Every structure is written in C-alpha cells, then in structure tokens.
Amino acid sequence: MRHQRSDLQPLGRAQGTTGSHRQELMVGLFKDGLGVFNGTALKEALDLIEALALTEDVQPVYIRVAPGFDGATWLDLGRADGQSVRIHPTGWDIAVPDPREVCWRRTQLTGELPMPVKDTDGKGIDLLLRLCNFATAETECLAIAWLVGCLGPSVPVPAPFLTGPQGAGKSTGGRMLVRIIEGMTGDLRRAPKDEENLLAAVAAGWVTALDNLSHMSPDLSDAMCCIVTGAENVKRALFTDGDVFRVGYRRPLLLTGIDVGVIRPDLAERLLPLRLERPRVRRTEDELWTEYAQVLPVVLGSLLDLTVKVRAVDAESIAPTAKERSRAARTAVTRPPRTSTDPTGPAPGSSSAARPAGKSPTSSRSCRRRRGRGSRQRSPRWRSATT
C-alpha cells in the first residue's frame, strides 16, 4: 500500500465511466503490476484509505463551475487531461487547475466542451442568435445575460422559461443554450414526479433543463424556487440511526412549455420569460445540429470574452468605493481635532459651533421668547374657532 501512483489528475472520473472505488483500486493495482487481490485485502485497503481521508483537511469539490483564487472563476471543460478555463477580469486562459485551488467532480451528466476559440470579436454571439428563434432583440439580450450568469458560481440567476407557439423550436433553443455550458451530451429532461429524484438530478449536474411542462404542482414549484435561490436537503445517513447526510444545491434552471397554467407568485419572480416565434425557413435537425457543433467553439469563446468584460465592469464599479472608504479612513486618523482658535472654524461640540456667526446667546433667547408670546396670543382664537 506504500506504492503511489504518479499519473493522478485533480479531477474525478472521466465522463462516460462507471464503477466503484473498489473496482478502481483493483484496476489500478493490476496495471501497476502488483497482481490481483482477494476481497478481504481490498476491503482492508479501502477501510485504511477511508480512515486516512478522515484525518486530512476537507477539500471541496465542484461540478462544472468553481470559484478560484484572486476572484477568478474556473470552467470545467470535461476533458480527460483536466484542462479548464480560468476566467478573471483581465481575460481568460486554458490551464489545469491546482488541486489546492479547485477539484472537479465528474458524473454521468458531465459532458465534454470543445476548446474555446480566442479573439472572436463577438462573432459567436451572432452565430448563436442566428440559429435560435427568439422573438425580439430584448429576448436575445436576456438569453445571453443568462448564459453569462451561468458562469458565476456564487450568484443565483433567474430561470429562463422558453414559451411560444407550436413549432417555434422551444426544445431546440433550450438544448442549444444548455449545450453551451454542458457540452453536446447535455439535453432536456421531463420533470420528475417527486422532489427527491429532482434533487438527485440537480446535484449531479450544473444546468437543469426541464422540457415540455404542462402543469406545475405546488411541491414542484417550491422545489424550483429552492433550486434557483439555493437550499439544503438533510436526510438520514445510510446504515445509521442518528447521523444525517447534508446536500446543498443552487443551480441554473431552464424550463420550456406552452401553457403551464397559473404560476405561483414566488416562482414567477424567479422566471425569465423568453418568447420564441416560428422560423421562416425550415431546416432539418441534422443540418441544424451539424452547423451548431461547428460553431460551438466560437460561441463558447465569444461567451467567455463577454463574461470577462462583465467582470471587468463589476471590478471597476466596486474599486472606487473601496478607495473612497480607505481615503476617508486615512483622513479621519491623520486630521487633528479643531479648536476654538482654529482658523477653519469652531471645534465640534463647542457652544459657538451650535450658534450662527454674528449672533449672541441673548439675541437667540429673545427670539425664542418672542415666538413663544406670539403662539400664546393666537391660541385663544384657535380654541374659540374650534368650539
């Protein structure tokens, strides 16, 4: 057990693989030339690995999007070599993240993204909008804003609700938006019948897309609200009586449908209505998805460029506030208190500071006395008028 593997990557299983840790240990030992071990030896080895893991620091794992050091954001491309996109206010680049900064978690829902193209000059956004059937320019801007929000790991984003007449391409448009973040294997799903299955699907991916909704039960509506803004699910841990298992989740959500009936107000505040219209020229799905796969690297590169510009604007809007606060703090510390002989004015808290210049205390008291006599003389006329 002292033998160490030198080809470990800072990520989970690659996309498309299955199996338990016991199977991974068996294959790893066999490929290292250590032979085949029986079940008892493997169980003891797994127990030792679990005990050693309990004594180490907890390292969080992330799916698809993760916060990094110095305000950066990481995007998992789902590649076997671990290459990911690092987004920061000055640009974005491709690199393998340090395991101390980001550790990826891979599931069956983690698809592989193409290598994004740099210096697209916004060409990918135009190519994407040409393939979708959004009704207005405002709807297009809302869709792009949602995609930018999907690349933020800590900010909840409203859920786009794609609506429109039959044949408007709502499901196709939803797939196109989802596959920019989840890869070509990302797809829409039917709404599960219970909340537990919905939360299991949400925890295994980044973007959750529900297709062809015709009715929203109160439980499903509440679950969608929790998915958008974030919540925690607590269950009893397996094979225990008193321990619990905690799962926190907050994911981007996408919905499609024609008429879902009455939407509850709390969910309506979290929805982003995007209306589509029927295309003027019909195309086959093979032609459409072939073109989409060709332009997806350019679309992803343009989306990253736009995200960098948004992050830069946010950084500029926050930076002046911090400078002003620091300047005010330095002024309060270095400036001495004023005295009554200070040429800049009287000291705060002194009797002369509360009195206007050129007036004596006697004149101010006489003014108050005259105002008081005037009010006492008018009061009898008020009382007689009211009676």
In sequence order, the 6+-apart residues with CB closer than 8 A to the CB of 53 are: none
Is 267 among the domain residues? yes
Is 43 among the domain residues? no
Least confident of 201-210, 236-245, 358-367: 358-367
Question: Taking 50 as the threshold, does the pLDDT of residue 373 lie above it?
Answer: no
Return the H-helix or E-strand segment holding 152: none
Give the whole-angstrom CA distance, residue 5 versus residue 217.
50
Nearest to 256 by CA among 272, 239, 235, 237: 272
Is 117 among the domain residues? yes
Give the whole-angstrom CA distance, residue 273 versus residue 243.
42
Sheet holding 65-67, edge to edge: 65-67, 73-76, 84-88, 91-95
> 247 by DSSP, 3-state: which?
strand
- Domain around 153: 110-316
CATH code for the domain of 154: 3.40.50.300
Is 337 among the domain residues? no
The string of pLDDT tens digits covering residues 321-337 is 555 555 555 554 454 55
pLDDT at 320: 54
More confident residue, 60 or 237: 60
Give the whole-angstrom CA distance, residue 257 versus residue 161.
8
Task: Provide the pLDDT confidence category of residue 57 given band limits of 50, 70 and 90.
Answer: confident
Q: What percent of the chain has pLDDT over 70?
A: 77
What integer best gives the mean pLDDT of the chain? Answer: 80
**How many residues comprise the chain?**
387
Is 370 among the domain residues? no
Residue 311 · residue 89 · CB < 8 Å = yes
Give how many domains the chain has, as a whole number.
Answer: 1
What is the DSSP-derived secondary structure letter of residue 60? -
Overall average pLDDT of the 19-41 stretch:
83
Is 17 among the domain residues? no
Is 53 among the domain residues? no
Is 27 among the domain residues? no
The string of pLDDT tens digits covering residues 164-188 is 999 999 999 999 999 999 999 989 9
